[in-house]
Amino acid sequence: SSEPGSWEPPFGPMPVHRELTLTLAEACGAEVSDTPFLHEHSVEVQLPFLHYLYGEIPFVAAVVQPLSQREAEAAGQALAQILARKPLAILCSTDFTHYEPHEVAKEKDLLALRHVLDLDLPGFLSVVKARRISICGVGALALFIALAKALDLRASELLSYRTSGEVAGMMDQVVGYASAIFREVNAVA
């Protein structure tokens, strides 16, 4: 988790939710430090969008190491007990397959995404390992799957999937990207 304070994206400061950061870190036995974010960019690329849409909303940032199924489920349950019934959005950011041909990357990524959308943690971890899918945030996605399942966010929708090749035109070595949304089954869109 990030050290309490604020981050400075281009549109203005974004306050870290100090109390929730410390509570969540304690529940998961995580270290609170800004050091993991020095070379990790997935939070900082999301903050300008969040700031543009919602202004200076407090947030909690976390870098998640690779987790086993058991570790992800335990952390997901611990976080769900704290986060249940709170008005919040959970954002999980990662690249998918790295530097493979477009068709190979797309096939691998869509296999993994099927398990993510179904909140199938064992299937997700299994296909990532068996197919050697180079998802850099596999731990974050594993934790998200476990947390979403514990919070009953079962209404999933894949909003978009693309590779860098579809944008840049170079299809021999691409990186995969997806966006999806998960809601409570009875939530209003």
Residue 46 and residue 113 in one domain: no
Q: Would 135 be classed as within a structural domain? A: yes
Mean pLDDT of 14-29: 89
The DSSP secondary structure of 122-173, one letter per residue, reads HHHHHHHHHTT---TTHHHHHHHHHHHHHTT--EEEEEEEEEHHHHHS--SS
Q: Which helix (H) or strand (E) holds 112?
A: helix 102-117
Pick the last residue of a domain from 45, 63, 81: 63
68 located within any domain: no
Assigned domain for 122 exists: yes
Q: Which residues lie closer than 8 Å to 129 by C-beta, 6 or more apart?
A: none
Q: Per the domain annotation, does 148 fall within a domain?
A: yes
Range of the domain at 119: 89-189
HSE-CB at 127 with a 13 A cutoff on CA atoms is 19
| Percentage, residues of the chain above pLDDT 70 | 96
Domain boundary among the residues 46, 63, 80 is at: 63
Query: Tokens 């999980």 identify what position?
Result: 92
Q: Which whole number is the average pLDDT over 19-46? A: 85
Give the Cα separation of 32 and 49 in Å (integer).
24
pLDDT at 1 over 60: no
Q: Can you give the pLDDT at residue 143?
A: 96
Please check whether residues 109 and 54 belong to one and the same domain. no
Q: pLDDT class for 40, splitting at 50, 70, 90?
A: confident
Count: domains in the chain: 2
Give the model's pLDDT for residue 126.
98
Instruction: Determine, yes or no, domain membership for 72.
Output: no
pLDDT grade, residue 188 (50/70/90)? low
Considering the domain architecture, whether residues 46 and 131 belong to the same structural domain is answered as no
pLDDT tens for each residue of 134-187? 999 999 999 999 999 999 998 899 999 999 999 999 999 999 999 999 988 766
* Max avg pLDDT among 2-11, 58-67, 104-113: 104-113
The letter for the amino acid at 75 is A
Residues 110 and 51 in one domain: no
The pLDDT assigned to 36 comes to 78
CA-CA distances (angstroms) from residue 137 to 18, 167, 185?
24, 22, 26
Confidence at residue 6, expressed as pLDDT on a 0 to 100 scale: 84
Q: pLDDT band for 44, please (50, 70, 90 cuts).
A: confident
Mean pLDDT of all residues in the chain? 90
pLDDT bracket for residue 127 (50, 70, 90) = very high
Q: What are phi and psi of 38, to 5 degrees?
A: -65, -35
Same domain, 106 and 189: yes
